[in-house]
Amino acid sequence: MKRTFILILVLLAAAILFGGLVHAVLVAAHVSEPAATTVYGLTIRRLWATTVVVLALAGVVIGGLGLARPAGRFRITVTLVAGLIAVVNGGLVLAIANGGPGSGNGVVGGAAGLVLGMIATALGGLGLFCRRGL
């Protein structure tokens, strides 16, 4: 019971930290103000941002598994590549956005992809660092 409670608190703290980082990225990119008119449905930029988030999340999961168990060179490479692709594409989504959340530009997904991509890249680098025994 105690272990479950601590796990829930850690996951809640991680979710709050992630939300804070995404908000900080939106503020830094000057796209944190909500749109005047809300666009509903899937747009091309939202699809792009969603794809970036899924790729970054896959990189984080693979990197986390790589740290939990002995990782091969392939797993570390996949984590690093997925993280770098997500960082670049998340940054591009934010760079070409001309509106805030709700504008259909995918800025929330771009910011989330950027943050998750950085985490995946760090996990891949940490896996590479630990693998070499440095």
Q: How many CB atoms lie within 10 A of CB 123?
A: 24
pLDDT for residue 1: 73
Q: How far is CA 5 from CA 15, 16, 17, 101, 124, in A?
A: 15, 17, 18, 33, 29
How does DSSP assign 21-90, residue by residue? HHHHHHHHTT--SPPSSPPPS--HHHHHHHHHHHHHHHHHHHHHHHHHSPPPHHHHHHHHHHHHHHHHHH
Q: Nearest-CA neighbor of 62 among 51, 71, 49?
A: 71
Tokens of 61: 């999961």
Tell me which amino acid residue 47 is. Answer: L
Q: How far is CA 78 from CA 85, 114, 115, 130, in A?
A: 10, 17, 17, 16
Threshold 0.75, pTM exceeds = yes
Q: Which of the residue ranges 5-19, 36-50, 76-90 has the most confident prediction, judged by mean pLDDT?
A: 76-90
Tracing tokens 């995918």 back to the chain, one arrives at 106
Q: Output 70 or 74, whichever has higher pLDDT.
A: 74
pLDDT for residue 69: 80
Mean pLDDT of the chain: 88
Domain boundaries, the chain: 2-132
Interior angle at CA 52, CA 34 and CA 59, nearest 5: 130
pLDDT for residue 26: 87
Q: Output 74 or 88, whichever has higher pLDDT.
A: 88
pLDDT for residue 127: 86
Summarize pLDDT for 15-67 with one digit per residue, the tens. 999 989 988 998 888 888 887 788 888 889 999 999 999 999 999 999 988 88
Q: Output 128 or 71, whichever has higher pLDDT.
A: 128
Residue length of the chain? 134
Torsion of Cα atoms, 24 then 114 then 64 then 55, to 10°: 150
